Amino acid sequence: MNDAGERKTQSKAPQRAYLFADPVSHTLSPAMHNAAFAACGLVAHYAARHVRPAELGAAVASLRQVDVLGANLTLPHKEAVLPFLDSLSAAARSIGAVNTIINRGGQLHGDNTDAPGFLAALAAAQAGNSDTAAGSAVVLGAGGAARAAVYALRSQGRRVYVINRTLSKAQSLCGDLGGEARERQNVPWAEVNLIVNASSAGLGNPQETPLPDFEFSSLPPSALIYDMVYKPAETRLLRKARAAGLSTENGLGMLAQQARLAFMAWTNCQPAIEVFLDALSENQPQARVEDSPP
């Protein structure tokens, strides 16, 4: 831990951090962050708040208080929050979405830890299967999580196709970040080694899928299906892909990785990733690994 982290650890003044979301009942973020506060010896508490879109401005303004470290954001606030912030990281500005707000002496700085968190989790999921690290990728969705995924995959030089129920939203995303907006039937699936569900399809509903009636046999045998949804741990998308013999992973790894990066930005303390993963395992014991982080 660095000097700044030691000073914060020694502080006895209670501090607060939040998650703003709508809905919010699915989140496991408080379990992770409160475990990390304990691991770092910090007197602080993380809570999830149900914030509706019309309430976002007031909720963000409340983060300027001296005892607030910052907040995480998930559906539907990652893009809508931008006008309420004082500054943005280069990644957040490029992606056009913020999942982490840091209170810097009353000035609110927006960052995006989804993109690096996704790449870290993806690397772990691809371990031992180098074929999935090359070739084309498909991102499902066009919201804040999808923007982070496209930004991350494009940074690796991959060809990325974006599919969304509203094609114009996919086209807008690709205009900003690169990639190619496509209708599902126009994707060259035989060249796709990675599918990323960055939509909310399946969130809280194990029977919902972003790819109804999809023939997973049209993909290469080495393809990986990565679902950012983590609750339920086993979505219909993952069940169907696994039944077809493909590798799958859900969103808990990304959730832990992006949470750790946000926590480090607030506190300068660097708890091991196992602190976050263990907290997730204790609160969702059947999970193997939100849009929805956090």
Residue that is written with structure tokens 């129920």 in the block: 165
Q: Tell whether 141 is in a known binding site.
A: yes
Residue that is written with structure tokens 């602190």 in the block: 275
The catalytic residue among 8, 78, 231, 240 is 78
Q: Tell whether 110 is in a known binding site.
A: no
Residue that is written with structure tokens 């923007």 in the block: 147
Q: Tell whether 169 is in a known binding site.
A: yes
Segment (H or E) for 23: none
Q: Tell me how many helices (H) and strands (E) the chain has.
A: 10, 12
Q: Tell whether 105 is in a known binding site.
A: no
Q: Tell whether 143 is in a known binding site.
A: yes
- 8 an active-site residue? no
Q: Tell whether 137 is in a known binding site.
A: no
Give yes or no for a contact between 246 and 258, defined as CB atoms under 8 angstroms apart. Answer: no
Q: Tell whether 97 is in a known binding site.
A: no
For residue 175, give both structure tokens.
Answer: 């205009």
Q: Tell whether 145 is in a known binding site.
A: yes
Q: Tell whether 28 is in a known binding site.
A: yes
Taking alpha carbons only, the member of 199, 191, 126, 124 closest to residue 160 is: 191
Q: Tell whether 34 is in a known binding site.
A: no
Segment (H or E) for 243: helix 236-243
Give yes or no for a contact between 258 and 293, defined as CB atoms under 8 angstroms apart. Answer: yes
Binding-site annotation: residue ranges for shikimate: 27-29, 74, 99, 114, 230, 258
Q: Which amino acids are annotated as binding site, given as ranges?
A: 27-29, 74, 99, 114, 141-145, 164-169, 228, 230, 251, 258
Binding residues for NADP(+): 141-145, 164-169, 228, 251
**Which residues are marked as active site?**
78
